[in-house]
């Protein structure tokens, strides 16, 4: 008899971006190892980005419960669609208008913990038939949005016989953008209280980074399991360097706060110092990029080297990774971002192209790069070392020796392997 698992996730195809990939892939592999999977998703969500190609990846052997949701973003979008979509994507304009500032304040102080809080009551009602039939099942909630965890907390209260696992793809109260939400004291306290309730009530916590695991261990005695994100694509088998220009590619969203002035200045100097470099160099951006980032690139006189593709499908993003000479990974230089492991890093691994990462000292992504021998990591005080390394990659490129990384150390991050860890975690809570 298959073991029932109920997964509650706001992000689901056709949502684009990395947030949808994690539980879409777990839902793919869990049935293969003896689980009966049911996934609760919104019926009519207002996702900031869409990737219709992901609809084809929904497994046929799972059950879907689609639950209607009222999205405040739809109403806000009537005032300004572009501003609303940018806010949903996390792109906060530092030169924000009054309307933008008001929207951020309302989001932070009236929708706690987030704007999807109204979905909770609809989900609780929708899963009643399932839980009446499966009174001893595993319930998994995944956030952000962290309001989804409040559904799990309520279900655990109503039906103590279930086992509830709360999956944190990102931290809650320590995530970097919290300070940008203009939270009042009451809202700040409410976030802290809700986080503590969830951490204490869950049967087990799942985190995606060691740093978040250390944070939560200081806040609760609830058992905790690290399960990183991963990749599900066929790793790149092209061992020779790609043809074309010396392309440094950033795949994914680039927020205003993630503006790597250090990188732009370094590239400007490389272009100024060598006509040969400028003849071959290309900066490729694939994904949503804030206006401030583009303005900075222009200020450093790099605009003529930019290939800005905008948002691309998941399949297209993989091919761009394969074709790049090196892949850029940028994180904000702050204490809060040390715990952030962007989901794309694992597909970067599978692309086997050299990674050039920039972030704060002591970040978890530095350990991953070191363990997999997939690239080099630089903090924001290492401009000279960054410039030297990009020059090194360019020299390899010029001599046709910018080969792919062919080691097998990345296999531990394949989604099927990670699902085995998840299955053992589920077994643990039932022991």
The DSSP-derived string for 297-333 is HHHTT-GGGEEEEES--HHHHHHHHHH-SEEEEE--S
Strands 326-330 and 3-8, how do they pair? unpaired
Q: How confident is the model at residue 2 (pLDDT cuts 50, 70, 90)?
A: confident
Q: How confident is the model at residue 203 (pLDDT cuts 50, 70, 90)?
A: very high
Enumerate the domain spans of the chain.
3-72+113-230+415-430, 246-409
DSSP state of 165: E
> Mean pLDDT of all residues in the chain?
91
pLDDT of 402:
95
DSSP state of 407: -
CA-based nearest residue to 12, from 34, 35, 37: 37
Pair 367, 338: CB distance under 8 Å: no
Residue 94: pLDDT over 60: no
Say if 3-72+113-230+415-430 and 246-409 have the same CATH topology: yes
CA distance 199 to 217: 10
Give pLDDT tens digits for 351-367.
999 999 999 999 999 99
CA-based nearest residue to 366, from 352, 345, 388, 343: 345
CA distance 296 to 74: 31
Enter the CATH code of domain 246-409: 3.40.50.2000
Q: How confident is the model at residue 81 (pLDDT cuts 50, 70, 90)?
A: very low
Give pLDDT tens digits for 39-51.
999 999 999 889 8
Residue 98: pLDDT over 70: no
The residue that leads in pLDDT, 85 or 187, is 187
**Relative orientation angle of helices 344-351 and 364-372, to the nearest 10 degrees:** 20
Q: What radius of gyration, in Å, describes the C-alpha atoms of the chain? A: 22
Highest mean pLDDT among 86-90, 308-312, 390-394: 390-394
Give pTM, 2 decimals: 0.88
Pair 168, 341: CB distance under 8 Å: no
CA distance 177 to 167: 19
Pair 150, 120: CB distance under 8 Å: yes
Instruction: List the structure tokens of 202.
Output: 């869950």
pLDDT of 84:
44
Three-class secondary structure assignment of 192-247: HHHHHHHHHHCCEEEECCHHHHHHHHCCCCCCEEECCCCECCCCCCCCCCCCCCEE
pLDDT of 93:
53
Q: How confident is the model at residue 88 (pLDDT cuts 50, 70, 90)?
A: very low
Residue 249: pLDDT over 80: yes
CA distance 100 to 105: 9
CA distances 137 to 123, 182, 225, 267, 311, Å, are: 17, 39, 19, 54, 38
pLDDT of 105:
64
Residue 91: pLDDT over 50: no
Looking at the DSSP assignment, which residues form a beta bridge with residue 425?
Answer: none
DSSP state of 134: -
Strands 138-143 and 63-67, how do they pair? unpaired
Residue 95: pLDDT over 80: no
CA-based nearest residue to 256, from 91, 78, 424, 427: 91
Highest mean pLDDT among 47-51, 172-176, 208-212: 208-212
CATH class of 3-72+113-230+415-430: alpha beta
Residue 52: pLDDT over 60: yes
Give pLDDT tens digits for 407-426.
889 999 999 999 999 999 99
The residue that leads in pLDDT, 141 or 19, is 141
Pair 354, 402: CB distance under 8 Å: yes
Mean pLDDT of 20-39: 97
pLDDT of 178:
67
CA distance 247 to 245: 5
pLDDT of 423:
98
CA distance 51 to 126: 26
Sheet containing strand 204-207, edge to edge, reads: 63-67, 35-42, 3-8, 138-143, 163-168, 204-207, 224-226
Instruction: List the structure tokens of 290.
Output: 């804030």
In three-state secondary structure terms, 253 is coil
pLDDT of 339:
85
Report the range of poorest mean pLDDT among 128-132, 153-157, 312-316. Answer: 312-316
């Amino acid at each position: 008899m298959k073991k029932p698992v109920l997964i509650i996730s706001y992000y689901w195809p056709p949502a684009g971006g990395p947030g949808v990939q994690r539980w879409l892939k777990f839902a793919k592999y869990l049935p293969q190892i003896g689980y009966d999977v049911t996934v609760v998703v919104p019926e009519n969500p207002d996702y900031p980005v869409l990737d219709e190609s992901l609809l084809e990846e929904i497994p046929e052997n799972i059950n879907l419960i689609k639950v209607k949701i009222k999205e405040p973003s739809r109403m806000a979008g009537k005032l300004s669609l572009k501003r609303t979509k940018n806010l949903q994507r996390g792109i906060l304009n530092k030169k924000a208008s009054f309307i933008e500032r008001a929207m951020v304040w309302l989001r932070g102080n009236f929708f706690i913990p987030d704007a999807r809080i109204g979905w909770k009551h609809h989900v609780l009602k929708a899963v009643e038939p399932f839980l009446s039939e499966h009174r001893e099942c595993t319930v998994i909630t995944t956030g952000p949005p962290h309001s989804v965890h409040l559904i799990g907390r309520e279900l655990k209260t109503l039906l103590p016989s279930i086992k509830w696992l709360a999956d944190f793809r990102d931290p809650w109260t320590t995530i970097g953008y919290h300070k940008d939400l203009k939270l009042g004291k009451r809202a700040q306290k409410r976030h802290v209280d809700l986080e503590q309730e969830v951490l204490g009530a869950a049967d087990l916590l799942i985190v995606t980074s060691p740093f978040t695991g250390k944070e939560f261990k200081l806040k609760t005695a609830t058992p905790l399991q690290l399960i990183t994100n991963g990749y599900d694509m066929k790793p790149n088998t092209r061992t020779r360097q790609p043809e074309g220009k010396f392309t440094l590619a950033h795949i994914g969203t680039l927020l205003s706060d993630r503006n790597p002035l250090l990188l732009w200045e370094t590239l400007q100097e490389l272009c100024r110092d060598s006509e040969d470099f400028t003849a071959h160099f290309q900066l490729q951006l694939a994904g949503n990029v804030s206006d401030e980032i583009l303005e900075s690139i222009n200020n450093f006189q790099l605009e003529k080297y930019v290939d800005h593709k905008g948002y691309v499908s998941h399949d297209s993003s993989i091919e761009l990774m394969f074709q790049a000479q090196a892949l850029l990974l940028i994180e904000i230089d702050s204490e809060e971002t040390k715990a952030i492991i962007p989901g794309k890093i694992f597909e970067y691994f599978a692309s086997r192209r050299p990674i050039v990462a920039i972030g704060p000292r002591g970040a978890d992504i530095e350990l991953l790069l070191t363990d997999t021998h997939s690239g080099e990591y630089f903090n924001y005080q290492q401009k000279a070392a960054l410039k030297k390394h990009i020059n090194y990659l360019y020299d390899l490129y010029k001599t046709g020796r910018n080969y792919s990384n062919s080691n097998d150390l990345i296999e531990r991050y394949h989604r099927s392997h990670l699902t085995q860890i998840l299955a053992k975690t589920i077994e643990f809570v039932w022991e």
